[in-house]
Structure 1
Amino acid sequence: MESEDYKRIARAIAFIRQHHRSQPDLITVARHIGLSEYHFQRLFTQWAGISPKRFLQYLTLEYAKSKIDRTKSLLDLTLEVGLSSPGRLHDLFVNLEAMSPGEYKVAGIGLKIHYGVHETSFGQALIAKTTRGVCNLNFLDVASQKTPEQILQNLWFNAEIIHDRKATQILRDRIFDSATFKEQKPLTLLVKGTNFQIQVWRALLKIPFGGLTTYQTVAEMINRPTATRAIGNAVGKNPIGYLIPCHRVIRGSGEIGGYRWGAERKMALLGWEASHNAC
């Protein structure tokens, strides 16, 4: 049901993005996704924690610009920023471990990867783990032509891929259910990438919950101020969605920009974070 709710929300966001100049009212958006005004308001509020109107205020250009300016001054803060707010489990004690050059070269020989597909508030997600940590979180879409096994095999082509939904259900609950996270140990992420990509992914972990920053700022964070295009490529290669928050990087103009798992999902993530950050 979580995934179905997200699909409706994503359709509503897509419609509003397409018709934002005419500022469609609640009835118009509700009819577009096949719900009554009452049921749409109720579903949206249940999903986001606030009304559709308030949620959409968090997705405006002016709001994005103001958050960019504020985030620049917050990048030096630790991940302890805002621990009291709900839904921040993916920002709490996330450790990133990179594979060694030798391990990178052999692309997973001897590695066992257990995976499962789970319902989340942002659609279906493929979650994969090794004994060393979470190695993939990929949002799935109906339009995708690749199976979960193919997605993982493309990244770890010498690894043994094992379907084990029971093992990854625990991770799903820790990542997407804040009530289960507080008293547990830090999550470790295992990534495979170039030194440059790993630098970028580490920088993304410093962007606080509800914050936004630009590709230029990320470039400056890793002392590569002229490498914005390469930064964009590295952000787009992020293998662990949501936990490594590449969705918090937007264009310098304040526009949302692209996202490997869809612009609507990026807007949903940003709006949801903003609404809970304000709680």
Structure 2
Amino acid sequence: MTPMIAPLDERARAYDRMAHALNHLGDTWRDWPDLASVAAAINLSPSHFQREFTRWAGISPKQYQAALAHGEAGELLRDGASVLDAALETGLSGPGRLHDLFIAHEGLTPGEAKAGGAGADLVLGKAPTPFGLGAWLIGQRGLVGLGFIDEGAPRRTGFEHQGVGEAQAFADLAARYPGADIRRDDAAAERFARKVFESGEPMPVALYGTPFRRQVWRALLEIPAGTTRTYGQLARAAGNPNAARAVGAAVGANPISWFIPCHRALAADGRLHNYHWGVARKRAMLTYERAHAA
């Protein structure tokens, strides 16, 4: 029987604990820790952890560990390992089940996209996501921006490792579209969030930006869930193989986190770094995707 996914606001509240759990499982899955030891690592009882993780992720902690092993085994096999070696290396078990959302289409003409949002009527609000509280920027044609709010984060200039506060997240999204007419509407943002995350309906996006940046953002959409690409690989996919540095800047300027998956872009050495909304969130997204895509 498929586990019941928790309501969106419940998943948002559980994100910090679940990010901790994802990181812990990502570090320890090869040792196949039991439920009690993983629960103790995040200060929950085994029954509470089992229930909360399953309702957040849609798969149990045991299924999640198995899916990580499955994904690792696939990489080993592609690299030439024997089936036996891959099984011994990972303790392979059954895969998890894929949950995926997708982008329906880009809801702007080229001229509108190049205008950078000038004169557009946009709604800015906060609403839950599975990865914590989101800062949503929505236009009549679709989603314009999505960032993340870490409640209790220090409200300073710039973005700290501790997270991004509400005022900072809103200011960051609004500053990208200085010519737009932006109004606050949390209720509208929540309706949009629930439509996307709970109903799974196709979601149009409105990508304002230069043609080059939009080409890079489209290349991000071509990266399969649970996998990553370097900036150099993205440059080749975007048709500019010598533009890795410019591609990195375009990835960093991606306005729609999670749905346009800039978290799947890595430096040439494979390090997780420089994610606008926190490296911990990037790692949680990648490990969550890897388990579900296995």
- Shorter-chain TM-score: which interval? 0.7 to 0.9
C-alpha displacement of 1:93: 2.1
Shift of 1:96: 5.8
Q: For each residue in 1:151-183, what CA deviation from the matched residue of structure 2 results, as whole angstroms up to 9, or x when unmatched?
A: 232111232221123333332123212x352xx
Give the aligned residue type for 1:175: V
Give the corresponding residue for 1:275.
291
Report sequence identity in percent: 36
Q: CA deviation at 1:113?
A: 1.0
Q: For residues 217-232 of structure 1, what are the structure 2 equivalents within 5 Å?
A: 217-232=233-248
CA distance in 2 between partners of 1:48 and 1:258 (Å): 25
SS in 2 for 1:233: helix
Quote the residue 1:115 is aligned against: 124
Question: Once the two structures are superposed, what CA deviation does each residue of 1:89-132 show, in whole Å capped at 9, x if it has no partner?
Answer: 2x25232647638953xx54422211221112111111111122
Distance 1:88 1:273, change over 3 A: same
Q: State the alpha-carbon separation in 2 of the partners of residues 99 and 152 from structure 1.
A: 21
Corresponding letter in the other structure for 1:112: D
Q: Which has the higher contact order (CA 8 A, sep 6+)?
A: 1
Structure 1 unaligned spans of 5+ = 71-84
Shift of 1:216: 2.4
Q: Please name the residue that 2:12 is paired with.
A: 3
Query: What is the distance in 2 between the residues matched to 1:58 and 1:258?
Result: 27
Counterpart contact for 2:128–2:190, Cα < 8 Å:
no
SS in structure 2 of the partner of residue 172 of structure 1: helix
Q: Give runs of ≥4 in structure 1 deviating > 4 Å.
A: 14-26, 56-60, 251-258
Contact 1:48 1:275 in 2 (8 A): no
For residues 39-71 of structure 1, what are the alpha-carbon distances to aligned partners after superposition, in whole Å with 9 as ceiling and x for unaligned?
2122222222333355356568x839929x79x
Q: Which residue of 1 aligns with 2:64?
A: 55
Distance 1:234 1:58 in 2: 32
Alignment match of 1:215 (pick from 216, 228, 231): 231
Question: Judging changes above 3 Å, is the alpha-carbon distance between structure 1 residues 260 and 33 closer, same or farther for their aligned structure 2 residues?
Answer: same
CA deviation after TM superposition for structure 1 residue 14, in Å: 4.3
Among 145, 159, 167, the alignment partner of 2:180 is 159
* Aligned ranges 1:26-175 → 2 under 5 Å: 26-56=35-65, 63=72, 66=75, 87-89=99-101, 91-95=102-106, 97=108, 100=111, 104=115, 108-142=117-151, 143=153, 144-145=164-165, 147=167, 148-175=169-196
Provide TM-score, normalisation by structure 2: 0.71
In structure 2, do the counterparts of structure 1 residues 98 and 66 end up closer, same or farther at CA, with 3 Å as the change threshold?
farther
Please tell me whether the aligned partners of residues 98 and 192 of structure 1 are also in contact (alpha carbons under 8 angstroms): no
Give the greater-gyration-radius structure (CA).
Answer: 2
8 Å Cα contact 2:149/2:166 also seen in 1: no
Summarize the Cα distance change of 1:162–1:65 in structure 2 as closer, same or farther, 3 Å threshold.
Answer: farther
Give the CA deviation at 1:261.
1.8
